Amino acid sequence: MLLKNANDGTSAYELLAGLFRVCCLNSLVAQTGTIDAIKVRHSGDVQGKVIEGTYRVLGEAERTLAAPQDWSGLRVGREAREVLAEAAHLVRFGDSEGSVTNPIKPEQLLVPRRVEDRAEDLWTVWNVVQENSLKGGLRGVRRDEFGRARRSTSRPINGIDQDIKLNKALWLIGERMAALLRR
């Protein structure tokens, strides 16, 4: 849980629930995703809105925290991994009509950045796809209008609103995949 607030009222109360991953032995952690968040302006019934929103975020976090253990027990075959990557690719790089012009390929989202992420369970595969979707750095080649090759690198998602929107969509994809794999 991350709480941001300014006691002088210059910024809104914000509560974010997320999943964190230990990055190194000195306990440095990195957020792997935002589960839910609330933002309450310092006006009106602040106390009531904060209490109501906090319970909502905590409820969502409680339900979500069971996912790592649950999804770790679900093996994801090659075809299911490809479907997961294609859905995430469309969410990350698709336009409002559902077409993707970005040269990054869906299979690039499946390439682990660490040796520890070379597993075939849903939790690990989902985390790899999510990290590659958010962190950027994926390279592709496209052709310009004259047919010349142009290199392109995906940019990281830095804005909190974009981060939350993408993570919610990816989470929904993961939940649906888990439901299909349990059948």
User: Does the model's pTM come out above 0.85?
Assistant: no
Does the CA dihedral 164-165-168-174 come out positive or negative?
A: negative
Alpha helix (H) residue ranges in the chain: 46-64, 67-72, 78-93, 122-135, 160-182
Torsion on CA atoms 116, 121, 127, 129, rounded to nearest 10: 110
pLDDT digit of tens for each residue in the chain (183 aa)? 666 776 676 777 777 676 655 555 554 445 555 566 667 776 778 788 778 877 877 777 777 777 888 899 999 999 999 999 999 999 999 988 888 888 999 999 999 999 999 999 999 999 999 999 999 999 999 888 898 999 999 999 988 778 878 888 998 999 999 999 998
3-state percent breakdown (helix, strand, coil) of the chain, nearest 5: 45, 20, 35
pLDDT score for 33? 56
pLDDT score for 29? 47
pLDDT score for 27? 44
pLDDT score for 151? 93
> HEC states along 117-140?
HCCCEHHHHHHHHHHHHHHCCCEE
pLDDT score for 122? 96
